[in-house]
């Protein structure tokens, strides 16, 4: 079976640089995949991507060594299993708030006897290899999102669930849950304290910690603290930022002569 480079990176003590895909287009996904990201996450929760768009995006990512990850809309067995059957090598599940939620996530993403995942890896066999069924349980990565006050209260119980590989912090939702301003990087002190606490407890349980970032500078800072999976921005935000820079530079040039133009 094709190896999961995320697991290889983490085993060596390294951190993975993750890109984020909110645009439902295979060409933009392919373009992002060729830029050197360790992994790319297709966002089915807040992106404008549906399952029909997901498949060609996964196929596009497959033209590179980039690891395909999907954030599902919710903790629901059908979409988790369909996403893995489509060839995702990692799944990020939002709003995991209790130990029971984490146990369900592990069960839905693992074949028996370790879980209840239904068998039907229709595209995963093509991407992962003919021996996918024998090795999927030890290859796929499952992330539980920690982003609510309830999840903080149950943090150690969640982190102690056998088979959970990683957690992923959504700073905006976590900030909102704590009565703070929703943002990625310059979070309020209460949210910053919670993020540090989550990281500390994840390390204590031997669980990989991931987090969303707005800038490379913040991602590097968080890697230095011990995060091993850092997302920087998204395809839509990066496209908008690049376009804004071009337009801003063009608008500062001298006004064209009457006979000319842009």
pLDDT at residue 257, rounded to an integer: 55
Q: What's the CATH architecture for 5-237? A: Alpha-Beta Barrel (3.20)
Q: Per-residue confidence at 258, pLDDT binned at 50, 70, 90?
A: low
Q: Can you spell out the DSSP letters for 190-222?
A: HHHHHHHHHHHHHHHHT-EEEEEESSHHHHHHH
Which residue's structure tokens are 């669980």?
A: 207
| Other CB atoms within 10 Å distance of the CB of residue 195 | 21
| Other CB atoms within 10 Å distance of the CB of residue 40 | 25
Helix/strand/coil for 119? coil
pLDDT at residue 255, rounded to an integer: 63
| Other CB atoms within 10 Å distance of the CB of residue 59 | 18
C-alpha torsion sign, points 126, 129, 133, 137 = negative
pLDDT above 70: residue 259: no
Enzyme catalytic residues = 46
72 with 45: CB under 8 angstroms? yes
- CB neighbour list of residue 85: distance below 8 Å, 6 or more residues apart: 120, 121, 122, 123, 124
Residue-averaged pLDDT of the chain: 96
175: alpha, beta or left, given left = phi > 0 and alpha = psi -120 to 50? alpha
Q: Which residues pair with 166 in a beta bridge?
A: 143, 208
Burial of 156 (0-12, 13-18, 19+ CB in 10 A): exposed
Q: What is the pLDDT of residues 12-59, one digit of tens each?
A: 999 999 999 999 999 999 999 999 999 999 999 998 999 999 999 999
pLDDT at residue 52, rounded to an integer: 97
Q: What is the pLDDT of residues 153-198, one digit of tens each?
A: 999 999 999 999 999 999 999 999 999 999 999 999 999 999 999 9
219 with 230: CB under 8 angstroms? yes
pLDDT at residue 260, rounded to an integer: 52
pLDDT above 80: residue 66: yes
pTM of the model: 0.95
């Amino acid at each position: 079976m094709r190896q999961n480079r995320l697991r290889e990176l983490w085993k060596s003590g390294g951190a993975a640089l993750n890109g984020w895909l909110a645009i439902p287009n295979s060409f933009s996904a392919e373009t992002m995949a060729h830029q050197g990201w360790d992994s790319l996450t297709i966002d089915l929760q807040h992106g404008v991507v549906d399952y029909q768009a997901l498949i060609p995006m996964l196929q596009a990512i497959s033209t590179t060594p980039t690891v395909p990850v999907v954030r599902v809309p919710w903790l629901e067995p059908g979409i988790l299993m369909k996403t893995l059957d489509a060839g995702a090598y990692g799944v990020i599940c939002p709003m995991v708030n209790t130990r029971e939620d984490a146990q369900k996530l592990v069960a839905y993403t693992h074949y028996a006897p370790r879980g209840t995942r239904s068998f039907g890896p229709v595209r995963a066999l093509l991407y992962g290899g003919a021996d996918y069924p024998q090795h999927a349980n030890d290859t796929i990565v499952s992330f539980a999102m920690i982003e609510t006050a309830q999840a903080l209260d149950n943090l150690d119980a969640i982190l102690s669930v056998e088979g959970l590989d990683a957690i992923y912090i959504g700073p905006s939702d976590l900030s909102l849950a704590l009565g703070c301003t929703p943002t990625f990087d310059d979070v309020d002190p209460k949210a910053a304290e919670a993020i540090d606490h989550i990281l500390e407890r994840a390390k204590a349980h031997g669980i990989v910690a991931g987090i969303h970032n707005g800038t490379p500078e913040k991602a590097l800072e968080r890697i230095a603290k011990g995060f091993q999976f850092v997302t920087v921005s998204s395809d839509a935000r990066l496209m908008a930022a690049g376009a804004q820079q071009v337009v801003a530079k063009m608008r500062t040039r001298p006004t064209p002569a009457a006979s000319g133009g842009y």
